[in-house]
Amino acid sequence: MIDLLPSAEQRAIIDEAAALLASARRTGPGRELSGASFFASDLRARCGAQGWFTMALPEKLGGIGATVADQAVVFREAGRALGPVQLLGAVLAAHVAVELGESDLAARIGSGELSVGVGQLTRGPSGGMLFDPSASWSAVVSPAGDVVHLVEVAPGSVAPVSAIDPLTDVGRFATAALLRDALTLTGPVARSLVARTLVLAAAYQSGIAEAVRDMSVAYVKQRHQFGVPIGSFQAVKHRCAEMAVRAEAAWAQTAFAAVTAGVDGYDTGFEAAAAKYIATTSAVENARDNIQNHGAIGYTTEHEAHLYLGRAHLFDHLLGDTRAQLASMIPERTSTAARLELENADD
Partner 1 sequence: MEFSLTSDQVALRTEIRSWLADNVPREAPPHEGAAETRAFDVAWQRRQFDGGWAGVSWPKEYGGRGLGLVEQLIWYEEYARAGAPNIRSCFVSINHAGPTLIMRGSEEQKRKHLRSILAGDEVWCQGFSEPEAGSDLGSLRTAARVDGDELVVNGQKIWTSFAHIADFQELLVRTDPAAPKHKGITWAICDMHAPGIDVRPIRSMDGAVDFCEVFYDDVRIPLDNVVGELNDGWRVAMTTLSFERGTAFAADQMAMSLMVERLVTVATERSLDGSGRVAILDDEFARRLAGLRAEVAALRSMTYLGASRNRESVQPGPEGSFLRLGVGLLMQRISRLAMDLLGEDALEWSAPVRHHGNWSNDYLFGFSRTISAGSKDIQRNIIGERLLGLPK
The residues facing 120 across adjacent strands are 129, 141
Q: State the nearest-atom distance from the C-beta of 217 to partner 1, in Å.
A: 5
313-316: which pairs have CB atoms within 8 A and are 24 or more residues apart?
313/164, 313/165, 313/284, 314/85, 314/131, 314/163, 314/164, 314/165, 314/168, 314/170, 315/201, 315/204, 315/205, 315/208, 315/280, 315/283, 316/280, 316/284
Residues 145 and 196: their CA atoms lie apart, in Å, by 11
Residue ranges binding partner 1 (CB under 8 A): 1-7, 10, 67, 69, 73, 217, 220-221, 228-229, 231-232, 234, 237-238, 240-242, 244-245, 248-253, 255-256, 258-260, 263, 270-271, 273-274, 277-278, 323, 325-327, 329-330, 332-333, 336-337, 340
Q: State the nearest-atom distance from the C-beta of 157 to partner 1, in Å.
A: 34
Nearer residue to partner 1 within complex by CB, 140 or 200: 200
Q: State the nearest-atom distance from the C-beta of 7 to partner 1, in Å.
A: 6
Residues 283 and 311: their CA atoms lie apart, in Å, by 9
Nearer residue to partner 1 within complex by CB, 153 or 201: 201
Nearer residue to partner 1 within complex by CB, 100 or 327: 327
Strand stretches in 214-338, DSSP E: 224-225, 228-229
Q: State the nearest-atom distance from the C-beta of 63 to partner 1, in Å.
A: 18
Q: State the nearest-atom distance from the C-beta of 278 to partner 1, in Å.
A: 5
Nearer residue to partner 1 within complex by CB, 175 or 253: 253
Residues 120 and 248: their CA atoms lie apart, in Å, by 28
Handedness of CA 168, 297, 250, 259 (dihedral sign): positive
Alpha-carbon distance values, 219 to 226, 232, 274, 282 (Å): 16, 12, 31, 19
Q: State the nearest-atom distance from the C-beta of 34 to partner 1, in Å.
A: 33
Question: Which DSSP category does 130 fall into?
Answer: E
Residue 152 host element (H or E): strand 148-152
Nearer residue to partner 1 within complex by CB, 100 or 326: 326
Q: State the nearest-atom distance from the C-beta of 247 to partner 1, in Å.
A: 10
Nearer residue to partner 1 within complex by CB, 114 or 273: 273
Nearer residue to partner 1 within complex by CB, 100 or 244: 244
Q: State the nearest-atom distance from the C-beta of 311 to partner 1, in Å.
A: 21
Q: Mutual orientation of helices 187-222 and 86-99 as an angle, nearest 10°?
A: 160
The residues facing 39 across adjacent strands are 25
